[in-house]
Amino acid sequence: MEREKAIAFFDSGIGGLTVLFEALQTLPKENYLYFADSKNAPYGIKSKEEVHNLVKKAVDFILGKDIKALIIACNTATSVTIEDLRKSYSIPIIGMEPAVKPAVEKSEQNHKRVIVTATPLTLKEEKLKNLIERVDNEHIVDLLPLPELVPMAEEGKFNTIRAKEYLKREFAKFELSDYGTVVLGCTHFIFFKKIFQEILPSHIDVIDGNKGTITNLKRILTEKNLLNDSGSSNIEYFISMEKIPDSEASKRMEGLFKILKH
């Protein structure tokens, strides 16, 4: 039956699990499929063509499963491919959007600037440039690429001296007293949120777009009468086309979700 279909999440690696974690809080009765293209990560330093081809191959695979909606839980993949994907497939496809708009609205009130962190490719893409142009009337947004965080996340190097020193070095380029908000524009970065909060002055808010993505997902499923209120939060886990045994997947996700809870 239609209501038994899963909601699929796609990411270049483990970053999209931060979005799935948010979905599990909001939609606990749904069934899920998670696809991590870890064998080809990271995406953020690849060319647009490479990312486009990798995403197309992965999405074709995912849509061969019994799913009712697809979340591109990767800011880089969203920025490069989302428009083409929506033209090519009829299933609801939801992408990520860095939380630039709420950051700008907040910072206009407190007269502070905004730093948007993301992968180099996300920061170069027209999608983000258009978003900033649309909402940043006062020109208060600055960009900070953090390419080293994604490999660290994929290696499980979260709360480490290496990560802390890297972020300290990158943020030393800014006069932080001028800033009020830092946007995490890559889902992998959310695993390092505690370090961001630790090294940044206490007046700076650290925000991301995950909640907005899942709110949008729930709205779309409701409109299409696709919400499931009798499922069991079953999660199938794939790594680059390979199905991971449920016991191994549960152990992997349990450890990563634990980081997000604290």
pLDDT at 19: 98
Same domain, 169 and 200: yes
Share of the chain above pLDDT 70, in %: 99
Render pLDDT for 179-227 as a digit per residue (tens, 0 to 9): 999 999 999 999 999 999 999 999 999 999 999 999 999 999 999 999 9
75 vs 97: CA distance, rounded Å: 7
The whole-number average pLDDT for the span 16-24 is 97
Same domain, 204 and 250: no
Same domain, 90 and 181: no
Same domain, 54 and 133: no
CB 182 within 8 A of CB 196: yes
CB 38 within 8 A of CB 13: yes
Same domain, 137 and 53: no
Same domain, 72 and 143: no
Q: pLDDT averaged over the chain?
A: 95
Same domain, 224 and 168: no
CB 28 within 8 A of CB 233: yes
Q: Is 185 annotated as catalytic? A: no
Q: Is 74 annotated as catalytic? A: yes
SS (H, E, C) the chain: CHHHCEEEEEECCCCCHHHHHHHHHHCCCCEEEEEECHHHCCCCCCCHHHHHHHHHHHHHHHCCCCEEEEEECCHHHHHHHHHHHHHHCCCCEECCCCCHHHHHHHHHHHCCEEEEEECHHHHHCHHHHHHHHHHCCCCCEEEEECCCHHHHHHCCCCCCHHHHHHHHHHHCCCCHHHEEEEEECCHHHHHHHHHHHHHCCCCCEEEECHHHHHHHHHHHHHHCCCCCCCCCCCEEEEECCEEECHHHHHHHHHHHHHHHHC
CATH number of domain containing 138: 3.40.50.1860
Q: Which residue of the set 186, 195, 206, 214 is catalytic? A: 186
Q: Which residue of the set 6, 27, 36, 74 is catalytic? A: 74
Same domain, 92 and 217: yes
172, 188, 208 - which closes a domain:
208
Residue 3 pLDDT greater than 80, yes or no: no
pLDDT at 2: 46
The whole-number average pLDDT for the span 1-22 is 89
Same domain, 193 and 230: no
Same domain, 120 and 58: no
The whole-number average pLDDT for the span 126-136 is 96
Render pLDDT for 137-183 as a digit per residue (tens, 0 to 9): 999 999 999 999 999 999 999 999 999 999 999 999 999 999 999 99
Same domain, 119 and 189: yes
Number of domains in the chain: 2
CB 233 within 8 A of CB 257: no
Same domain, 85 and 175: no
pLDDT at 182: 98
Which of the four pLDDT bands, split at 50, 70 and 90, describes residue 12?
A: very high
Full residue range of the structural domain in which residue 217 is found: 2-96+210-261
pLDDT at 107: 87
Which of the four pLDDT bands, split at 50, 70 and 90, describes residue 4?
A: confident
Q: How far is CA 218 from the centre of its chain?
A: 17
Sequence letter at residue 111: H
